[in-house]
Copies of this chain bind each other. A is one copy, B any other.
Amino acid sequence: MKPLRETTSVNAQVLSALRAAVISGELAPGSLYSVQTLATQLGVSRTPVREALIKLAQQGMVRFERNRGVRVLLTSLHDLEEVFALRLLLEPAATRRAVDRLDAAQLKELRRTFAHMEKAAKSDDEFTMFEHDRRFHRVLLEAAGNARLAGIVDGLRDMVLRRGVSTARESRSLDDIVAEHRVILDLVEDGDAVGAAEAMRAHVEHTAALLIAQEAGGEPVDVDLSWTTGAVMRTN
């Protein structure tokens, strides 16, 4: 007999497949693809493909062009700036909040994820590394108790994953990345909310600087993310 088990819906499978294809670059940024073609390649009909693409379009990864196809959007320098401005506004604050709310299970999960990152870095497994990197951040964000915030940041990561995965190592080794997360983890374990938030800010800012510099390709960059930091309240 066939697996009576409830497999995830076709739509969900198509969605993750398309997302992965965009991230991996299998679907080239800037190129046009037809729903029919994608549906055939995935072995399903046009409907679930179209519906998945609608979701990706809402997220800003693709854009429908009437009677022409669906275009995979390329992330410009400005896009990177937008994404990291948002991450800098959200992640440090969420981290600060998370430290005071983290329960035992979440802390354990955070440690476990970090251990996986270390292991992946040791075996030079870039893909697994970034997978757990993402999970590390997600655990912290969820611990902050704001699902929308976690979802937003998680969505933002997709925007830069494609550029980040294969090239970030040019300027920062996997070990460096692990080290930055270790600092965060240690401060979280110490219950130092402000410190952990600051470490997170530094980590995200560092990542932003590397990716933006890389994207600019040596040209002088006109990107200012400093406005995302600092007191909102008047300094008395």
Contacts and interface: CB of A to CB of B under 8 A. Distances in A.
Chain copies in the assembled complex: 2
A154 to B, nearest CB: 13
Given A55-B58, A93-B227, A232 B148 contact: no
B234 A194 contact: yes
Contacts of A230: 231-233
Interface in A1-59: 50-51, 54-55, 58
A189 to B, nearest CB: 18
A93 B228 CA distance: 6
B148 A60 contact: yes
Contacts of A51: 50-51, 54
A148 B86 contact: yes
B232 A198 contact: yes
Interface in A173-225: 194-195, 197-198, 201
Interface centre among A58, A152, A198, A233 (most CB of B within 10 A): A233
A90 interface: yes
A82 B142 CA distance: 12
A165 interface: no
A198 B233 contact: yes
A86 B232 contact: no
18 contacts: A60-B148, A81-B146, A82-B149, A85-B149, A86-B148, A89-B90, A89-B149, A90-B90, A93-B228, A148-B156, A194-B234, A194-B235, A195-B234, A197-B232, A198-B232, A229-B232, A230-B233, A231-B233
- For the complex of A and B, list the 3 residue pairs with the smallest distance between their C-beta atoms, beginning with the closest: A231-B231, A97-B227, A92-B232
Interface of A: 50-51, 54-55, 58, 60, 81-83, 85-86, 89-90, 92-93, 96-97, 100, 146-149, 152, 156, 194-195, 197-198, 201, 227-235
